[in-house]
A and B are shown apart, each in its own frame.
Chain A
Amino acid sequence: DAKTTQPTSMDCAEGRAANLPCNHSTISGNEYVYWYRQIHSQGPQYIIHGLKNNETNEMASLIITEDRKSSTLILPHATLRDTAVYYCIVRVPYGGSQGNLIFGKGTKLSVKP
């Protein structure tokens, strides 16, 4: 089973920041938090990942709480093309079955004009 809990759906106004929460209260010390998104029925696309420090790249920012039991993905200026299902996944970042991605149902983000 997925180790994360996410809201089923969220709306965001175009141009505003989208903040997607994720709970992972049973995360282990060696597990990273990964975010992927899936637009329409395309293959999932990697967004960002982190261990315990906040991370930022050209797509998004990831804020992880100090106790690592929850995190928030931030899309700073959402566009209509960011409408997608967003998956929060915890996993170890190396080989074997421990490194498998286990998907939940994700959050359906709808960006509205």
Chain B
Amino acid sequence: NAGVTQTPKFQVLKTGQSMTLQCAQDMNHEYMSWYRQDPGMGLRLIHYSVGAGITDQGEVPNGYNVSRSTTEDFPLRLLSAAPSQTSVYFCASRETVVSGNTIYFGEGSWLTVV
């Protein structure tokens, strides 16, 4: 049981480049989400999904796209990277209908935009 897996762990991009951060979970969780964490700050929600084919915006969605074609995968796309998107990105998943459910986080993806 791998839990929540994020790739890549480290990435350097040039301004204007695009890339996709991958997130996969093997727990059959319906809910998945992406957070970013800037230095000295708490995590901020970018996008989330409550099931395959359903996505919605979080607190800081601008500059990011998501899709959810399968239950297992929830990729985060940066269409035109900007230095302000330099951050650590965390993917998370949980069940949606079980009371008191726990949210599981991946180990993070460090992104630098130069």
Chain B 69-113 interface residues, beta-carbon cutoff 8 Å to A:
88, 90, 92, 94, 96-108, 110
A30 to B82, CA, bound (A): 40
Q: How far, in angstroms, from A2 to B103 measured CA to CA in the complex?
A: 17
Q: What is the CA–CA distance of A2 and B108 in the complex, to the nearest angstrom? A: 22
Residues on B facing A (Cβ under 8 Å):
4, 30-31, 33, 35, 37, 40-45, 48, 50, 56, 58-59, 88, 90, 92, 94, 96-108, 110
Report how far A87 CA is from B35 CA in the complex, Å.
15
Q: Beta-carbon contacts of A44-83 to B below 8 Å, as 1s and 0s?
A: 1110010000000000000000000000000000000000
Do A44 and B58 have beta carbons less than 8 Å apart?
A: no
- Minimum CB distance partner of A46 in chain B: B102
- Shortest C-beta distance, B23 to chain A (Å), equals 11
Assess whether A101 is in contact with B30, with CB atoms less than 8 Å apart: no
In the bound complex, what is the Cα–Cα distance between A95 and B43 (angstroms)? 19
CB pair A41–B88 under 8 Å, yes or no, is: yes
> Shortest Cβ distance from B104 into chain A, in angstroms?
7
Q: 13 interchain pairs (CB within 8 A)?
A: A41-B88, A41-B108, A43-B4, A44-B43, A46-B104, A93-B98, A93-B101, A94-B97, A94-B98, A95-B30, A95-B31, A96-B96, A106-B42
With a CB–CB cut-off of 8 A, which chain B residues contact A45? 105
Chain A residues within 8 Å of B, Cβ to Cβ:
2, 32, 41-46, 49, 87, 93-97, 99-106
Q: How far is the CA of A101 from the CA of B98 in the complex (A)?
A: 16
A99 touches B31 (CB 8 A): yes
Q: In the complex, what's the smallest C-beta–C-beta distance from A9 to chain B, in angstroms?
A: 12
Q: How far is A97 from B58 in the complex, measured between Cα atoms in Å?
A: 8
Docked Cα-Cα span, A92 to B45, in Å, equals 16
Contact B48 A97 (CB under 8 A): yes
A32 to B4, CA, bound (A): 24
The 8 Å CB contact of A105, one of B42, B96, B100, B103, is: B42
